[in-house]
Structure 1
């Protein structure tokens, strides 16, 4: 029955892909080119139920062996000869959050599996995708500017073969408007429709359509079965997407409208990807989600009651009903951390309501779960937080911070802040400045408010804080943050940190750049003072901090180490101090 349900779900997905009426909307500047017979012919080629049953049963059969030894079984619609890249080159530019960069690796995999070549330059590309962000007006302005450049680039080509596609959140937000603009966009595809890219490109490249669009959101798409093609082959760090979408519906935020509802990726597929990354030599992974710590995987085989507290922390609430069953984020990261004790685990972006004490104590217990927490505040005033629909007050946020300081005294804390939200008064703004001074954040992402269509704030509130006031308040937030940070930087001098070396410095090939467990950037010489042993990218090095600024610390490399050895070193230091 499980196989039958899985087959039927997949069959419906692929049949919908062949149906230009239901799964994707094809837009053309010449409606006469849309032939009904052409659509019927495509539907005739769609796989039937027997093909999908056979495909499910043959998942472990070697059909197509890639250069890296991985086995790929193309689904029926991709085995069709008309949907193939035939070596055409694809270049993907990523903008915005980490999730977009992770999605780019999924897009690369889909395109590569369809016969396209992935190129790292737009100068020799046949297809250019812009994987976009829509969180703020400034983010979209960058895309419009880039599209203007690409329009000029297309005009210079005599053969007119360059195709430009807008993908991601901006595609989902603006939809048809992008095709109707003067920017000569050929393709518009939302975050849940990347599987349709080869077929949509085929329709354009074969002359069947002039433009194409698919912006349908999905209730279950997580791309769990797609092995990402990593954009950097030399990196020691990798992103692992564990869930998509957001249910919080904060009044200022467009994400639920561009990314859809929350859905979590199966546990086993996450663990398998983490194991593969460990075997490939990666030393650090970041678990990703729009609301990563609300992860809750629920399938029929997991329909068991869970004893872990499922409600938000005391003082926090949601506008949606909290799940009572399923695998939680705490349980997931527990399993992930056991895959490779020498692999660091980070996660972003979380919501303050989803930090149960069990999670904090697990982070304390596991040395490979990084002691660096992102706790987005957005404002320091309870009334503004209420208008934002954040689900907590200033007092409950501070209580969470105090709890973190008690359980994880060495942890660093970062945050997000929005200045000049609807109806924000000067007094309310001052509460944000005082919160910055109280918490002493180690890093912060700070912006002034940008009204987004469709959001709760757009429908029910007035964007009544003048731009010059927004800018002034933002500058005060930035100044306060850096002033407090500078006062605390000296506390790092003399400390010893385990630093993961991740790259050679761009300013000097005689120095390395690495990061501490607490996500502090550290620059060190590329050699030890008293040893000829080489230091390499990917090494864990014990480093003593000698100097630094608000942004970067400078350290002296003492010796190579490991997460296990550094933990033993810290235990010995604690015992000596206690005696």
Structure 2
């Protein structure tokens, strides 16, 4: 058996090559703009998780260096990228629906460039569908070669032929990519890529590859540079951050990394996701407890309450082990806000199994939960399992889960009524421009009256009203 090559971190040669291509494209765009007076615009639509959102920030950074400006809608764009997700079927269907609309736009503007990237592109059946049914897509690339986007764009512009560049596995990690952050005051930082867990319902390991960790010195430098640029809150990202460091030659645990990040001067808050219960260590709990910048909130998906179903999911922990872990965390870090993911209707789930799920919800008392009806993903072991649960049964159980969750989450919110909490002001309210929104250390969303000059600042707010999924307050 051949030894699997260890992914290398590329910080010079490949990054410099793409940088040169960016300069060439920028020069071409500047010449076109000087001749025609026309500014080129891009539009990126992002589907899926925070990893995809962070990837889109890198795409934005490269496109703006090339000379494109951001368009607020597809109709005004010269270059459209869909960064796709394949975790749930409805996300894929949304993409296909939008591709039909883009055909209409391309018919009106033959110079429009359409690109597809992300997790969907790593699936052979999706790639074949786009090749045959959506021939107006010009550039297709996957999750492993995001940094090559300038080169792929250049190739398309030179040939005017469809460019497809899909890698079956990761070859290298390219550092120092430009990035456009949505917020100046907070940012996400990838600490690792890929996943080794192979939960039977999940397509992620097949489309994002095996785990590979970035070197701690690269992560710390990136965070230090972000803090110097005004960032106050960092979200450390990985499919399973608890596995961080296992692929490094010089082993560093996630807990050790957290402590190093906590020492960075000027940084105010540290968040991270996602944590897998199977390897959340006592060392990490202690680091969360001891590090003053680590937010007292934790997203800890349990997915299903039944040990039988957990085994079928390949989650590698039991109901009892999850409950013991949750109680240990709550004991060591009082008032921590625990949130979770829950799947209803996994193949083979009985009423008794579902009651185990409700039992965990009642015992742990989560502050929030992302809940899903099981979605069959082609290419995963669960897709061909027997005893697929009928849709009407899954829907009934899903509604029952909401009935149990909602009063618990409401009670958790109401416990904050009358308290004064520090929040990071993030934005204007989408529904009322007189209101600002921000988040507490625990992750609760707070609306309050205030001036937009407060965005990006930490302020104290007294909670005057508690709704189920958000709080209302007034500045102190």
TM-score (norm 2): 0.89
Q: How far, CA to CA, are the matches of 2:160 and 2:146 in structure 1? A: 20
Change (3 A) 1:261 1:525: same
1:410 aligns with 2:361: no
Change (3 A) 1:494 1:186: same
CA contact (8 A) 1:496 1:545 kept: yes
From 198, 221, 241, give the equivalent of 2:172: 221
Deviation at 1:120, TM superposition (A): 4.1
1:168 aligns with 2:128: no
Change (3 A) 1:113 1:299: farther
Q: How far, CA to CA, are the matches of 1:466 and 1:9 in structure 2? A: 46
Which has the higher Rg, Structure 1 or Structure 2? 1
Matched with 2:3 is: none
SS in structure 2 of the partner of residue 399 of structure 1: helix
CA contact (8 A) 1:93 1:130 kept: yes
SS in structure 2 of the partner of residue 206 of structure 1: helix
Matched with 1:377 is: 302
Deviation at 1:257, TM superposition (A): 0.6
CA contact (8 A) 1:495 1:544 kept: yes
Deviation at 1:212, TM superposition (A): 1.8
1:362 aligns with 2:303: no
Q: How far, CA to CA, are the matches of 1:74 and 1:192 in structure 2? A: 17
Deviation at 1:263, TM superposition (A): 0.6
1:86 aligns with 2:29: yes
Alignment of 1:191-230 (within 5 A): 191-207=143-159, 209=161, 211-230=162-181
Change (3 A) 1:333 1:102: same
1:555 aligns with 2:470: no
1:543 aligns with 2:467: no
Alignment of 1:70-469 (within 5 A): 73-75=16-18, 78=21, 86=29, 88-114=40-66, 116-157=68-109, 160-173=110-123, 174-182=126-134, 184-207=136-159, 209=161, 211-230=162-181, 232=182, 234-296=183-245, 298-300=247-249, 302=250, 326-340=251-265, 342-459=267-384, 461-462=385-386, 464-469=388-393
SS in structure 2 of the partner of residue 339 of structure 1: coil
1:471 aligns with 2:395: yes
Deviation at 1:197, TM superposition (A): 2.2
CA contact (8 A) 1:92 1:129 kept: yes
Q: Deviations over 1:180-236 (max 9, x none)?
A: 224632222101122332333333322352x12112044353332213222x2x542
Gap runs ≥5 in structure 1: 1-5, 14-51, 60-71, 303-325, 528-533, 559-579
Which has the bigger relative contact order, CA under 8 A and spacing at least 6?
A: 2
Deviation at 1:273, TM superposition (A): 1.5
Q: In the comparison of the two structures, how many residue pairs are matched?
A: 461
| Superposition CA RMSD, Å | 2.8
From 417, 427, 438, give the equivalent of 1:514: 438
Deviation at 1:108, TM superposition (A): 2.3
Q: How far, CA to CA, are the matches of 2:43 and 2:275 in structure 1? A: 31
Change (3 A) 1:129 1:84: farther
Gap runs ≥5 in structure 2: 1-5, 31-39
SS in structure 2 of the partner of residue 363 of structure 1: helix
CA contact (8 A) 1:451 1:463 kept: no
